Structure 1
C-alpha cells in the first residue's frame, strides 16, 4: 500500500511528465490548484488518469460512484487515489 505522500508524488510527477516543457519542475504543483490552473486540458486529464492507473495499480473511478467531473483540484485527485488504495481509510482510522 502506498502512502499519501507517495501517491501525491506519483500524481505530481505524472502531471509534470504530461506537461513537459510547459511546466518548470522547480515550480512544483500546488495541490489546491485546479487542473486548468496547472495547465491540463480534458485530454491531458484523461491521459493522466490512464498513466496513474498504470503507475499506482488502482482506478478510483471503477469501483466508486465518483466521476472525474467531481474532482476539481490536484489534491482532490490525490485524496481519491488514496481512498481507493486504502491509504485514506487507514489514515482516517489512525487519527481516531
Structure 2
C-alpha cells in the first residue's frame, strides 16, 4: 500500500534519477520547489510522468486533471497520492 511518504520518496527519487548529474542521490529535493527550480524542463517533466506511471501504476493526468495545473514537487506528490489512494480504495471495495 502506498502512503504519502512512500509516494514522496518515489517522486523525489525519480526526479534525481532523471536529472542525473544535476543532483546527487543524497540531495534533498525541496517539495515546495517549482519544476524549473529543481532543473526540470517540459520534456523532462513528460519523461518524469511516464516514469512515475510505471512506478506508481497510475496516470493521474487523465480526465479532468492536467499537468499544467501542477507547479511544485509537493503538488505532484499530492496528485499521485490522491490517485493512488483512489486506486487502492477501489481495489479494496472489489
* TM superposition score category, shorter chain reference: 0.7 to 0.9
Please identify runs of 4+ aligned residues in structure 1 that moved more than 6 A.
none
For structure 1, the residue ranges without an aligned partner over 5 or more in a row are: 91-96
Distance in 2 (alpha carbons) for counterparts of 1:79 and 1:4: 8
- Matching residue of 1:44: 44
Q: Superposed, which structure 2 residues align to 1:10-89 within 5 Å? A: 10-62=10-62, 64-86=63-85
For residues 77 and 58 of structure 2, the distance between their equivalents in structure 1, rounded to whole angstroms, comes to: 12
Give aligned pairs, total. Answer: 87
Please state how far the C-alpha of 1:66 moved relative to its aligned partner: 1.3
**Secondary structure of 1:25's aligned partner:** coil
Mind listing any 5+ residue stretches in structure 2 that lack a counterpart? 90-94
**Two-structure CA RMSD over aligned residues (Å):** 1.4
TM (normalized to structure 2)?
Answer: 0.87
